[in-house]
């Protein structure tokens, strides 16, 4: 099962594709799409859309996972984010893929085991779960991988297991941040 996660943004859109084989997660690809700083807003949207269309064709996922958003700093930022999210959903729909949406707290719970986890915790957990040698960069890519992992956990019913396995580190966040996978 292969999931393509998207973390949309009008400045930078993160993406990350994760494959599950057995109980292991593998990184297929990840990164972020950013249009040139001189691009107009419609050009930015075209850049995001064209990038995602190409990446979806390349990675051939079974499903797309994206963060559901019901709040934003303000109406203006919600509008801008909506534009980017709109072209991301369009790319998924054009590829004939189902879109699964997860609330931020669900993603955190599925990945870290705690719905109010901080960004660095999520990044470290993504690195750990995918067996990477470093935290995926930029952070939009890590966020996109997190939502893909969230969907894998939800669709394979292993949320509870993940939570159980990784509950201990949560109690010692300070030292956990320095955790290195063997």
Catalytically active residues are 7, 67, 140
Contact between 126 and 149 under an 8 Å Cβ cutoff? The reply is yes
- C-alpha 28/C-alpha 20 separation (Å) is 10
Stretch that binds its own copies, among 16-24, 74-82, 111-119, 157-165 (CB under 8 A): 74-82
**Considering the rule CB under 8 A, would residue 75 count as an interface residue with its own copies?**
yes
DSSP annotation of 95 reads T
What strands lie across the sheet with 2-7, from one edge to the other? 24-33, 13-21, 2-7, 63-67, 99-102
Closest contact distance (angstroms) between CB of 76 and its own copies is 6
**Considering the rule CB under 8 A, would residue 89 count as an interface residue with its own copies?**
yes
**Considering the rule CB under 8 A, would residue 33 count as an interface residue with its own copies?**
no
Q: Which is nearer to its own copies, 69 or 128 (CB)?
A: 69
Contacts of 21 (CB under 8 A, 6+ apart): none
Three-state DSSP class for residue 16: strand
**Considering the rule CB under 8 A, would residue 147 count as an interface residue with its own copies?**
no
Q: Which is nearer to its own copies, 11 or 161 (CB)?
A: 11
Closest contact distance (angstroms) between CB of 88 and its own copies is 9
Could you give the dihedral angle defined by the CA atoms of residues 81, 11, 17 and 65, in that order, rounded to the nearest 10 degrees? 0
Q: What are phi and psi for residue 75, nearest 5 degrees?
A: -60, -40
Stretch that binds its own copies, among 20-28, 81-89, 112-120, 145-153 (CB under 8 A): 81-89
Q: Are strands 2-7 and 63-67 parallel, antiparallel or unpaired?
A: parallel
Q: Which is nearer to its own copies, 78 or 135 (CB)?
A: 78
Q: Which residues bind its own copies (CB under 8 A)?
A: 40-43, 45-46, 49, 69-72, 74-76, 78-87, 89-90, 92-94, 99
């Amino acid at each position: 099962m292969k999931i393509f996660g998207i973390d949309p943004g009008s400045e930078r859109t993160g993406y990350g594709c994760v494959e599950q084989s057995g109980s292991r997660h593998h990184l297929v690809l990840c990164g972020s799409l950013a249009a040139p700083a001189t691009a107009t807003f419609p050009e930015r949207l075209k850049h995001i859309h064209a990038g995602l269309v190409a990446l979806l064709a390349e990675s051939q996922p079974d499903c797309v996972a994206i963060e559901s958003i019901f709040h934003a700093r303000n109406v203006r930022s919600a509008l801008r984010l909506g534009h980017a999210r709109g072209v991301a959903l369009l790319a998924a729909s054009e590829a004939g893929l189902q879109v699964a949406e997860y609330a931020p707290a669900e993603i955190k719970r599925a990945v870290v085991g705690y719905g109010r986890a901080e960004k660095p915790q999520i990044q470290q957990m993504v690195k750990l779960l995918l067996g990477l040698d470093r935290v995926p960069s930029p952070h939009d890519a890590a966020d996109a991988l997190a939502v893909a992992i969230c969907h894998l956990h939800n669709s394979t019913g292993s949320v509870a297991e993940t939570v159980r396995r990784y509950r201990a580190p949560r109690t010692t966040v300070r030292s956990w941040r320095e955790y290195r996978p063997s």
